[in-house]
Amino acid sequence: MTGFGSLIGWVLGLQREVYAALGAQIQGLSESPKAALSAVVFALILGMVHAMTPGHGKAVVFAYFLGKQARPWSGVLMALTLAGTHVLSAIVLVAVLGSAATAFGRSAGLATGVQVASYAMILVLGAWLLYRSIAETLRPPAAAQELHHRMAGGLLPFAVGLLPCPMTMLILTYAIAHATLAIGLALTAIMGVGVAVTIAAVGTVGIVTRRSIFSWLDPHGRGYTWVLNGLQIASSLAILFLGAVFLAGSLA
């Protein structure tokens, strides 16, 4: 546990350093257009590092793909949707509330309500996926049931991404204060790409882990079906549990 805490501390420290460097780049852009490339690189790295910190739905994404057969492209698509929603929700909040949307890097006011809504949606979708997973173990799924299951999975990245990105709010607030809103928006978009890279990597690990498990099993054996159903139920249960824990923490 101590080692994990040290790792998180190192990632948070690296995030602060990259953010400080990005702030310096934003200031320098008004003086030197040549600093644009450096700012882009910093924003991309910041997004990747920022997504490594606790949150951002990594556990939810991993659990989902562990229980669902999918191609790697599905992980990329979910990551792009999640990251885009994550950044866009923060941009909208800053546009409406300005600096009041964040306090010391954390959501505040209406942003806190959006955060609660995000966790509640994860909880509801996890419950629905669990219900459908159990139902599918009892009888072969009909086309309509499979469609409902896919729709719930399709809504999941929007539910997770609805949580506003605190780093985006910090960057935009900083950019507005220095009258460089257009630059701030461009950099947050690039940062969103960095977030998507990290989330896509997590999703890919989930997909590869699932394939590795089933590569050892006989697809015609009884054990294959048991593991298939068990993973799907465990995956849905994990999403439900994570949503409940996140929601309880946000309401505490």
pLDDT digit string, tens, across residues 7-46: 555 555 655 665 666 666 665 555 565 667 777 887 888 8
Residue among 239, 72, 77 nearest 160 (CA): 239
* pLDDT given for residue 95 in this prediction: 77
Q: Which domain holds residue 81?
A: 54-251
The pLDDT value given to residue 10: 55
pLDDT beyond 50 at 1: no
Report which secondary-structure segment, H or E, holds 103.
Answer: strand 102-103
Domain-embedded: residue 46: no
- What is the distance between the alpha carbons of residues 246 and 56, in angstroms, rounded to a whole number? 11
Does the pLDDT value for residue 196 go beyond 90?
A: yes
Between the alpha carbon of residue 132 and those of residues 22, 147, 154, 235, the distances in Å are 45, 11, 14, 12
β-strand partners of 124: none
Task: Give the whole-number percent of the chain exceeding pLDDT 90.
Answer: 23
Q: Are 29 and 60 in contact (CB under 8 A)?
A: no
- Cα 80 to Cα 60: distance, rounded to the nearest angstrom: 15
Residue 24 lies in a domain: no
Tokens coding 11: 């990632």
Q: Report the candidate in 195, 184, 174 with the shortest Cα–Cα distance to residue 47.
A: 195
Asked if the structure places residue 244 within a domain, the reply is yes
Average pLDDT, the chain: 78
Q: At a CB cut-off of 8 Å and minimum separation 6, what does 143 contact?
A: none
* Higher-pLDDT residue of 122, 223: 122
Residue 37 resides in a domain: no
pLDDT at residue 170 is higher than 90: no
User: How far is 113 from 118, CA to CA, in rounded Å?
Assistant: 9
Q: Which 3-state string (H, E, C) describes 29-79? A: HCCCHHHHHHHHHHHHHHHHHHCCCCCCCHHHHHHHHHCCCCCHHHHHHHH
Long-range interactions of 219-225: CB distance < 8 A, separation 24+: none
Between residues 200 and 164, which one has the greater pLDDT? Answer: 200
Residue range 176-191: mean pLDDT, rounded: 79
pLDDT of residue 104: 44
Give the SS3 label for residue 30.
Answer: coil
Q: Which amino acid is at 160?
A: V
Q: Give the confidence band of 94 by pLDDT, cuts at 50, 70, 90.
A: confident
Evaluated on CA atoms 200, 81, 249, 100, the torsion sign reads positive
Residue 238 has pLDDT above 90, yes or no: yes
Q: Specify if 21 maps to a domain.
A: no
Residue 13 domain-assigned (yes or no) = no
Q: Enter the DSSP assignment of 102.
A: E
Residues 38-89 pLDDT 10s: 778 878 888 888 888 776 688 999 999 988 888 888 889 999 999 999 889 8
Does 157 map to a domain?
yes
- Would residue 132 count as lying in a domain? yes
Work out how many domains the chain is built from and give that number.
1
What angle do helix axes 110-138 and 222-251 make, rounded to 10 degrees? 160
The yes-or-no verdict on residue 142 having pLDDT over 70 is no
pLDDT tens for 97-129 read 665 555 444 555 667 788 889 999 999 999 999
pLDDT of residue 125: 93
